[in-house]
């Protein structure tokens, strides 16, 4: 068939074309992945503030709610940040499904190749597909909660969710999935775009060191929320306010209504 005489696009798919779109979509996938990866590093540190005590986590929460700028909490600001993350997450997932094996036969071929060649980078890619698939469900549920109920974030509110609402197994699975997925993703970005310019061996070492660090940090954080939640199980629903804030608030005659 001649590609010069195409009528109403019939047969167009079989003709060689110079389209920039696959490259553009690849760039979108990489940039959204980078934003999510960097966001996750920040997120893990903010959530880990609980390791420094309830006052520290309360302060971080209130910082995001604008309390120290406006003198009043606005949890809606957190929803705005979540909304942005949702858009980036959806774009990233949309770009990723282009690469998913679309039937069992394709899936079997990829796995067989990775196994037969003992090619570590292909095996890592297979793991990225598994964990990415899990995150479709886990991250969506988590982001929904954070978007709709941003006021339920805090030392007691978060710990109650983790322990009394029994969400700790959910967080445990999501933590493993997101750390593996993010670590492999950032490594693949570095290999693909050549920055930082180091050998794969070196990049892989850094990748595993970062994954190990964030996994240990995440597990310690989760254990801290579980412990606080367990100790607080008889008072679910009560919110934490540092003593120094209560004293300041009472002396100003606010009785906690600005929190």
Assess contact for 114 and 122: CB atoms under 8 A: yes
How far apart are alpha carbons 85 and 142 in whole angstroms?
12
How near is the Cβ of 245 to ligand HEM at its closest, in Å?
A: 19
Span from 77-85, 96-104, 189-197, 249-257 in contact with ligand HEM (CB under 6 A) = 77-85
How far apart are alpha carbons 184 and 128 in whole angstroms?
7
Chain positions 85 to 114 lying near ligand HEM, rule: CB under 6 A, are 85, 89
How far apart are alpha carbons 52 and 217 in whole angstroms?
12
How near is the Cβ of 66 to ligand HEM at its closest, in Å?
A: 14
How far apart are alpha carbons 225 and 169 in whole angstroms?
12
Span from 27-35, 116-124, 153-161, 241-249 in contact with ligand HEM (CB under 6 A) = 153-161
How near is the Cβ of 228 to ligand HEM at its closest, in Å?
A: 11
- CB-based burial, 167-177: b 16+ in 10 Å, e otherwise: bbeebeebbeb
How near is the Cβ of 193 to ligand HEM at its closest, in Å?
A: 23
How far apart are alpha carbons 31 and 210 in whole angstroms?
20
Binding of ligand HEM by 178 (CB under 6 A): yes
How near is the Cβ of 74 to ligand HEM at its closest, in Å?
A: 14
Neighbours of 241 (CB within 10 A): 18
Q: Which is nearer to ligand HEM, 21 or 68 (CB)?
A: 68
Binding site for ligand HEM (CB under 6 A): 43, 47, 78, 81-82, 85, 89, 135, 139, 142-143, 146, 153, 158, 161-162, 171, 174-175, 178, 218, 221-222
């Amino acid at each position: 068939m001649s590609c010069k005489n195409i009528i109403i696009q019939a047969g167009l798919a079989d003709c060689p074309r110079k389209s920039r779109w696959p490259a553009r979509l690849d760039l979108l996938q990489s940039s959204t992945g980078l934003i999510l990866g960097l966001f996750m590093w920040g997120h893990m540190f903010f959530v880990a503030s609980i390791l420094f005590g309830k006052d520290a986590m309360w302060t971080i929460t209130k910082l995001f709610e604008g309390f120290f700028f406006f003198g009043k909490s606005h949890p809606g600001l957190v929803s705005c940040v979540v909304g942005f993350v949702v858009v980036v997450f959806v774009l990233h997932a949309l770009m990723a499904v282009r690469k998913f094996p679309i039937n069992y036969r394709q899936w079997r071929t990829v796995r067989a190749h990775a196994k037969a060649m003992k090619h570590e980078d292909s095996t890592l890619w297979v793991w990225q597909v598994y964990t990415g698939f899990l995150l479709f469900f886990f991250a969506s549920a988590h982001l929904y909660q954070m978007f709709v109920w941003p006021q339920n974030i805090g030392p007691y509110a978060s710990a109650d969710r983790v322990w009394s609402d029994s969400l700790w197994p959910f967080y445990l699975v999501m933590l493993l999935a997101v750390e593996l997925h993010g670590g492999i993703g950032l490594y693949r970005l570095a290999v693909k775009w050549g920055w930082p310019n180091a050998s794969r061996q070196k990049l892989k070492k850094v990748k595993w060191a970062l994954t190990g660090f964030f996994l240990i940090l995440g597990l310690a954080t989760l254990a801290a929320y579980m412990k606080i939640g367990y100790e607080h199980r008889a008072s679910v629903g009560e919110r934490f306010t540092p003593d120094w804030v209560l004293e300041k608030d009472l002396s100003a005659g606010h009785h906690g209504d600005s929190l």
